């Protein structure tokens, strides 16, 4: 039998408004209360409600309700008895009037109908039964053993963006009951794949508890990507094994922690893609699941007329000019670092998180400053998606020190040089100059300098979950999103892609070869440029989504990784693996401050004659070739990247290198070429001042 609170006055003394959510009571204030079995301090920010009651169901018991007796600065709080771990609970408005704040049976409660309770914004798990959602009281015990964060420096990081479910759903060597789960992500076969590839961090698409938008439900689809968070402290249970789901939220939590522990043991960091810019409550007509029913005016951004301001394109926007929203986000982030040992975060639509009371981006926003000063959060990896859909939404390069940005300049510039420019030239037109490619290959230093950051602030990517895969970039001129049920209106129309003469799958050997060359050029540029490379899962295997560039609702083989190891897939894997090894090998032979402190001496540019690039050459749109000599002057090894972006083979004179004794002859060893001659030419020696032939649209990488 659940005992009531003994004395409301005593409960007032023993309870506290912080921390929000469920926590242990203060035993030194009133032992008679706290010594009762399973007493919990409950606190919820709900200034919109005059009185709040918590409805809860302990395992094996019926539903009970308890009115929270205390109110301070919008926080309703009190001690509630009989709430052991595993208890389902939620909040609702309490009837007005007096009455003792004791736990009593909820005679009017029905959990088989529509949503009648509000989720705890600080709830550690969500129980979902049909349309009915409740928070769950969680214990946090887990045997972490000797787990320690890998703490891989950004300079040597290679990030792999993956989806927990899609990564393993089709893997034949992972047991069927583990496919598509946290456990599957950490299966030895998957860890072997990641380590053989040279990955240092997996960046997981959202694993916070999320819901499907109503229009997708009407179409019989789901939000596969998961960018529709409903609970910022709760893991998404559907990514756990059936056994864990059946065992309950604690088993789900343990499976996720076990995944992270195993990845750490392999030296792989875990970065979470997090969505704090909006919630699953959608627009003003959306459901009241939590925030909307507790403090709508405080959690969401409104204009002067009380209408929702939307900088996310999702119907609502969390208001980061309000300290309550900032504190919620900081508390959530700390929880994932402290309790789940995650190594960093990628912030979806991060500009929204840094908008002030006037809805303007502020690079010294209180949220950013709080992270900078936080001993837990300031030492993990912080990656921004530096744009949103609001006014002034593009802010790449403006985030503060300690942050890295997804570099859309890199994405667009690499695609343009190797794909849309090539398409234009093959159609009889002209491509762009080499200057824009050179800038991004060198780490986009000018883009990040004003924020006080180095080239390592650039997270370089050619593809991401949002858009074409690498293979589709070279196979489609247009998006093909008809399967999404929106008449192909969704997804980006400007992809800077090139189908090489035929739309979609082709058996023409010339087209297949041309596409493979372009893929190698794109991957080589990604992995050998200065900055932090991010590979999208499956690109190392030549994955296709059949031209769908917005597969957010495709929880099926369209978006899942295809593990059929065809000769084409094996060749692409070997290419990616070799490029990652080459990158790591080069950096091992550089001082620790390279490339963050790269200067004119460590990055030298030469033309096809082996002479220094001049302003005239840089600005000449017909110049499509360049040589980058890269590496600290006092390092054991320097690398030479030679780019021929023209449609003609070129004779390139390799540069002479200035040393302490002056300009002298050096031997360059060819380590990699994107041309079909790679296996035949690898290891060839060419003296500085001598010519080497680069095939059309290829890259050569040498060492000296």
Catalytic residues: 348, 385
Beta strand ranges found along 149-298 (DSSP E): 159-162, 201-204, 208-210, 229-235, 269-274
d(C-alpha 244, C-alpha 239), whole Å: 10
Residue 634 DSSP SS3: coil
298 contacts: CB under 8 Å, gap ≥ 6: 45, 47, 74, 319, 322, 324, 325
Burial pattern 57-76, b for ≥16 Cβ within 10 A else e, equals bbeeeebbbbbbbbbeebbb
CA nearest neighbour of 540 among 557, 562, 555, 556: 562
* Residue tagged 């009190």 (tokens): 78
325 contacts: CB under 8 Å, gap ≥ 6: 298, 299, 318, 319
d(C-alpha 108, C-alpha 60), whole Å: 18
d(C-alpha 107, C-alpha 370), whole Å: 45
- For residue 595, cis peptide bond before it (omega within 30 degrees of 0): yes
For β-strands 691-694 and 625-630, DSSP reports them as unpaired
Q: What is the DSSP string of 173-210?
A: TS-GGGTTSHHHHTSHHHHHHHHHHT--EEEESP-EEE
**DSSP state at residue 114:** S
d(C-alpha 595, C-alpha 575), whole Å: 24
- For residue 350, cis peptide bond before it (omega within 30 degrees of 0): no
Tokens at 505, concatenated: 């799958």
In total, the chain counts a number of residues equal to 704
In this structure, what are the phi and psi dihedrals at residue 22, rounded to the nearest 5 degrees? -105, 135
**DSSP state at residue 318:** B
Q: How far lies 186's CA from each of 178, 202, 260, 262, in Å?
A: 10, 11, 8, 6
The answer to whether the beta carbons of residues 545 and 559 sit under 8 Å apart is yes
A 10 A CB-CB count for 191 gives: 18
A 10 A CB-CB count for 479 gives: 23
d(C-alpha 87, C-alpha 38), whole Å: 10
Helix axes 249-265, 323-340, angle to 10 degrees: 70
In this structure, what are the phi and psi dihedrals at residue 450, rounded to the nearest 5 degrees? -65, -25
d(C-alpha 172, C-alpha 181), whole Å: 14
A 10 A CB-CB count for 223 gives: 18
The alpha carbons of the chain give a radius of gyration, in whole angstroms, of: 28
184 contacts: CB under 8 Å, gap ≥ 6: 164, 167, 168, 171, 174, 178, 190
CA nearest neighbour of 576 among 543, 599, 609: 543
């Amino acid at each position: 039998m659940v005992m009531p609170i003994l004395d409301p006055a005593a409960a007032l003394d023993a309870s506290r408004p912080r921390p929000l959510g469920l926590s242990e009571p203060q035993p030194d204030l009133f032992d008679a209360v706290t010594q009762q079995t399973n007493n919990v301090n409950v606190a919820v920010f709900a200034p919109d409600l005059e009185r709040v009651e918590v409805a809860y169901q302990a395992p094996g018991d019926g539903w009970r309700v308890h009115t929270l007796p205390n109110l301070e600065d919008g926080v309703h709080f009190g001690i509630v008895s009989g709430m052991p771990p595993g208890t389902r609970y939620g909040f609702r408005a309490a009837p007005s009037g007096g009455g003792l704040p004791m736990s009593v049976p909820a005679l009017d409660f029905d959990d088989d109908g529509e949503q009648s309770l509000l989720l705890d914004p600080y709830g550690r798990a969500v129980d979902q039964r049909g349309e009915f959602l409740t928070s769950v009281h969680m214990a946090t015990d887990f045997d972490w053993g000797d787990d320690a964060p890998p703490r891989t420096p950004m300079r040597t990081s290679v990030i792999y963006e993956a989806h927990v479910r899609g990564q393993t759903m089709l893997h034949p060597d992972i047991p069927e009951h583990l496919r598509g789960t946290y456990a599957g992500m950490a299966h030895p076969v998957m860890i072997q794949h990641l380590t053989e590839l040279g990955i240092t961090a997996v960046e997981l698409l959202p694993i916070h508890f999320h819901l499907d938008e109503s229009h997708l439900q009407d179409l019989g689809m789901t939000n596969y990507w998961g960018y529709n968070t409903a609970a910022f402290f709760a893991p998404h249970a559907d990514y756990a094994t059936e056994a864990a789901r059946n065992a309950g939220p604690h088993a789900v939590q343990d499976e996720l922690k076990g995944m992270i522990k195993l990845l750490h043991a392999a030296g792989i960091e875990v970065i979470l893609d997090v969505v704090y810019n909006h919630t699953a409550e959608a627009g003003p007509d959306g459901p009241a699941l939590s925030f909307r029913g507790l403090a709508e005016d405080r959690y969401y951004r409104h204009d002067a007329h009380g209408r929702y301001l939307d900088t996310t394109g999702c119907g609502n926007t969390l208001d980061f000019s309000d300290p309550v929203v900032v504190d919620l986000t900081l508390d959530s982030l700390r929880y994932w670092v402290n309790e789940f040992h995650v190594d960093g975060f990628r912030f979806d639509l991060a500009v929204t998180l840094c908008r002030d009371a006037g809805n303007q981006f502020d690079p010294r926003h209180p949220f950013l400053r709080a992270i900078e000063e936080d001993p837990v959060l300031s030492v993990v990896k912080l990656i921004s998606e530096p744009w949103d859909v609001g006014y002034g939404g593009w802010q790449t390069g403006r985030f503060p020190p300690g942050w890295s940005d997804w570099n859309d300049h890199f994405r667009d510039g690499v695609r343009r040089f190797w794909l849309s420019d090539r398409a234009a030239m093959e159609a009889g037109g002209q491509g762009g100059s080499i200057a824009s490619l050179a800038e991004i290959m060198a780490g986009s230093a000018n883009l990040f300098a004003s924020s006080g950051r180095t080239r390592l602030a650039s997270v370089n990517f050619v593809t991401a979950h949002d858009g074409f895969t690498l293979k589709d970039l070279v196979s489609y001129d247009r998006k093909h999103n008809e399967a999404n049920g929106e008449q192909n209106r969704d997804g980006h129309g400007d992809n800077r892609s090139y189908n090489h003469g035929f739309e979609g799958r082709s058996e023409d050997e010339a087209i297949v070869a041309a596409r493979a060359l372009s893929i190698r050029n794109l991957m080589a540029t990604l992995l050998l440029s200065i900055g932090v490379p991010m590979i999208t899962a499956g690109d190392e295997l030549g994955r296709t989504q059949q031209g769908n560039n917005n597969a957010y609702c495709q929880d099926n083989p369209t978006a899942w990784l295809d593990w059929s190891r065809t000769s084409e897939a094996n060749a692409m894997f070997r290419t990616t693996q070799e490029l990652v090894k080459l990158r790591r090998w080069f950096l091992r032979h550089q001082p620790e401050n390279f490339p963050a402190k790269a200067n004119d001496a460590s990055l030298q540019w030469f033309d096809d004659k082996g002479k220094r690039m001049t302003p005239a050459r840089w600005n000449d749109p017909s110049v499509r070739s360049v040589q980058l000599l890269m590496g600290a002057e006092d390092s054991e090894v320097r690398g030479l990247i030679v780019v021929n972006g023209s449609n003609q083979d070129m004779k390139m004179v390799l540069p002479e290198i200035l040393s302490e004794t002056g300009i002298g002859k050096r031997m360059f060893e060819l380590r990699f070429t994107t041309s079909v001659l790679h296996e035949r030419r690898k290891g060839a020696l060419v003296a500085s001042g001598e010519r080497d032939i680069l095939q059309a649209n290829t890259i050569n990488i040498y060492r000296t």
